[in-house]
Structure 1
Amino acid sequence: MSDTSHSTTPPPASSLNRAWYAVAVLTLANVSGFVDRQILSLLVEPIKRDLHVTDTQVSLLAGLGFVLFYSVLGLPIGRWVDRGVRPHIVAIGVAVWSLMTAATGVARTFGQLFVARVGVGVGEATLGPAAVSIIADQFPRKQLGTAMSTYMVGTFAGSGVAYALGAYVVGRVDTPGLVTLPLVGAIHAWQTVFFWVGLPGLLIALLALTIREPRRDAPAVVAPSSRSASPDSTFAEVLRYVRRNARTVGAISFGFAASASVNYAIGFWLATFLIRTHGWTVQQAGTLQGVLTFTIGPIGVMLGGRLNDAWARRGHVDAPLRVGLLGALSMLLFAGLYPLVPNATLVAALLIPVNVFAAMPWGAANAAIAEAMPSHMRGQGSAVYQLVVNLVSGALGPTAVALLTDRVFGNPLALRYSLAITTVVGMAIAAALLAWARPAYVRTVNTLRPAE
């Protein structure tokens, strides 16, 4: 079976312009999604104080409550993506997660907060499969890493905005007591943050409707054999394909999931680590995390995309996995070290390479799954990949750190050791799986495409 969706002939300028416009809007949506997703990490202490919950319960809001539905619903959404109008799917998803983020602002109990976070996850489940499918349909292989990395800039820009904005706002609203808002009633002051970050997403939902569905432009950017091949592949057919390529899909999914677990753990607990271990304020910790994520993260992810494309031009079919390996091994060193150093200045210095290498693999990771799947299965294939990555990383990453702190060490000040252990174990697993995947991945990709 041959997949020729990445032609070596450059598409016309007008098609490339539309392609980059789509990337720009999808990146903006990704920024919005990650602001809504990550803002919770700056609110750990007020949530614990006002809702009377533990570290483990708070971690479930960022982990299981969000990720379970985000990941599982990605499967039927992936089927929808492979058959439907993808920009419309993105618009609906953005609107849902924006409204559910705002709904978080009216939650009165931990249970209500949990349900609202589930709703955010349901909305955000639309973006990943649709974005990977839209971008992969419009770019030649040797530009795919850069295009995917540009989209993934939204992950780090959004997280950075969440940390910095959250620190700024939380420092002004983190006070005991209630405030009363029109139509909303009495809520905790910190809950107003969810209105500020959630409601603007409705404008991005409208903007998503202006993306042109790439299937209409297929003659310009997609080869005919790709357009006509099994346009209505069922999920059973996707599973059969995955089983035939189990080492490729499984190893890259679980390998990048292990890497993402460390990233989520650091992202969720870094501010709390700086507060508990080094006596920083919420504003100081959030500002540092926000600035580094917003500035260094995009540099790292674009560097990964450039490396991916450079290795691809040199004929290395496994270029995305090489990028993932480099990121994992470097994280094992730098991210395993920063929690253990004695002073905050050295921590801040080490967090610069941590942010570079944490971001590096993620454009390449999306390119890897796009290359490993036939074009007419990319929505569902991406959903399977994201199911593994997000269930493992979102549910395990923040919660593993919390369980080590609560159950093994039994001391909140031992958070630094929990972060170091989680990092070393997670990145060692990631490196081993990605190395093991390389020969199978090369065979899979070479089977799908003609030799260049």
Structure 2
Amino acid sequence: MNEQPGIFEQKTPSLRYSWYVVGLLTLANISSFLDRQILALLVAPIKRDLHLSDTEVSLLMGLSFAMFYTVFGIVIGRLADRANRRNIIITGIALWSLLTALCAGVKTYSQFFFARMGVGVGEATLSPSAYSIITDYFPRRKLAVAMSVFTMGIFLGSGLALAIGAALVAKLPTTGMLDVPVLGSIYPWQKLFLMIGLPGLIISLLVFTIREPIRKDVMKKDGGRTRLSLRESLRIVFQHPKTFLSICVGTAFTAFASYGTTAWVPTYFNRTFGWAVPKAGLSFGLVLLAASVSGILWGGWYADRLIKKGIQNGRIRVGIIAAAGILVSFFIPLVSSPNLVLVLLFVPAFFMASPMGASATAVQELMPNQVRALSSAIFLFSINMIGLGLGPYLVAFFTDSVFKDEMAIRFSLVALFIVGGSVSLLFYLLGYNDYNKIMEQRRETERIPVNGG
């Protein structure tokens, strides 16, 4: 008898249904990043109406969300290794959607900060559970592409938040207040949180159509499934600490560059070239969509191609290429033509996206099923604390505290590319050979016949 309700009885689900699952989880991922990235278009009105600095706004975009996302992500990851992952996701989508909508009613910075923390708790349910579900639905030779499609939701959500959000911002009144039932008088920009948050409740209902799959690659003892204590789970996760942490930190500093770029590029175009924020958001959003989608799909395809050729550390090679691509893009914010900058930003946006699915797959392949969600949560902990928590903050810190000039934001973005690219490259290189050895040993173990048969 199955321990979880709604578990999928068929041992080999059809590829068509597996892709349906990925598509629906990707839609949820898009929704989560729409909620997350819309703040990038609202820097000016939030600063004006709540009387904030760049640094305080950066904490709303990053640290307020990242703190609870990462801490609760580990707790939820542990739960997802033991309970019904689909139901965890459904609960999380409903929670983050409601709390995003409630951001429309905040009156103070503290209320805003705590509401964003709550959004982080809800969104912490998705990725660890989704990574584990997708790994159970797909064979290894197709896993990186499937994981990349899911991860593509990050960039689709970010790009759509900028592109669609820019159009919505342009139509909002710039002065006065709006009267909304229940919430009362709100600033015009707060209406966006209602428009983006409430549709997520529909997505949470759609996820009920996903069936919980049977868990693959489960550790067993004496013919039965092994239930691991937290200490045992952590020991397995960190069985290869150098390899695991190199993937986590390498990917985190790729995300560091990505989050910092997404958060501040619209403001950069506004301050440096005088572009209106809606125009900057729409223009960069379209570039981000094209570059990120092509980058994440290329990363997954290339990683799977290398695996098929017998290159076991091919997933890490994608990260090395990506980090180098980010590093060599450091000069782009200094270019004097806004249209040329817009075109050139395709390059770092492509490489910031490309290792995300491949790296997530690499983590899944290192782990047995009982710790996949937990290891994913720790992986996401590093990405969000370093990437989301520090990426937007570094740009604001350099602008406010180092250069002490809002117009110096271009130099802050240069620093972002250099720090993100160089640290990411260093850590991916540290784990490259070790990951190859681990995977080669595992492949050899799988070839050994049991009892000589």
TM tier, smaller: over 0.9
Residue 177 of structure 1 aligns to a residue whose secondary structure is coil
Distance 1:54 1:313, change over 3 A: same
2:7 corresponds in structure 1 to: none
Question: Does 2:347 align with 1:353?
Answer: yes
Contact 1:328–1:427 (CA under 8 A) maintained in structure 2: yes
1:414 corresponds in structure 2 to: 408
Distance 1:19 1:237 in 2: 31
One of 317, 324, 332 as aligned partner of 1:329:
324
Distance 1:226 1:356 in 2: 41
Question: Does 2:240 align with 1:245?
Answer: yes
Contact 1:255–1:431 (CA under 8 A) maintained in structure 2: yes
How far off its partner does 1:165 sit? 1.6
Query: Percent identity, aligned pairs only?
Result: 41
Q: How do 1:71-150 and structure 2 match up within 5 A?
A: 71-150=70-149
Distance 1:152 1:396 in 2: 21
Contact 2:219–2:225 (CA under 8 A) maintained in structure 1: no
The farther-off stretch of 124-133 and 387-396 is: 387-396
Distance 1:417 1:229 in 2: 58
Residue 180 of structure 1 aligns to a residue whose secondary structure is strand
Distance 1:24 1:376 in 2: 24
Distance 2:410 2:150 in 1: 32
Distance 2:225 2:106 in 1: 45
Residue 105 of structure 2 aligns to a residue whose secondary structure is coil
2:308 corresponds in structure 1 to: 313
Distance 1:137 1:226 in 2: 17
Distance 2:217 2:156 in 1: 34
Distance 1:239 1:447, change over 3 A: farther
Distance 1:256 1:163 in 2: 23
Contact 1:133–1:379 (CA under 8 A) maintained in structure 2: yes
Q: How do 1:317-396 and structure 2 match up within 5 A?
A: 317-334=312-329, 336-396=330-390
Distance 2:220 2:312 in 1: 20
Residue 410 of structure 1 aligns to a residue whose secondary structure is coil
Distance 1:417 1:174, change over 3 A: farther
TM-score (structure 2 length as normaliser): 0.93
How far off its partner does 1:139 sit? 1.1
1:288 corresponds in structure 2 to: 283
How far off its partner does 1:354 sit? 2.1
Uncovered stretches (5+) of structure 2, i.e. residues with no partner = 1-10, 448-453
2:398 corresponds in structure 1 to: 404
Contact 2:237–2:371 (CA under 8 A) maintained in structure 1: no
How far off its partner does 1:283 sit? 1.5
Distance 1:92 1:182, change over 3 A: same
Distance 1:59 1:92 in 2: 28
1:7 corresponds in structure 2 to: none
How far off its partner does 1:337 sit? 1.9
Q: Specify the code of the residue in structure 2 equivalent to 1:206.
A: L
TM-score (structure 1 length as normaliser): 0.93
1:206 corresponds in structure 2 to: 205
Q: Specify the code of the residue in structure 2 equivalent to 1:368.
A: A
How far off its partner does 1:356 sit? 1.5
1:6 corresponds in structure 2 to: none
Q: CA RMSD for the aligned pairs? A: 1.7
Contact 2:287–2:343 (CA under 8 A) maintained in structure 1: no
1:189 corresponds in structure 2 to: 188
How far off its partner does 1:174 sit? 4.8
Uncovered stretches (5+) of structure 1, i.e. residues with no partner = 1-10
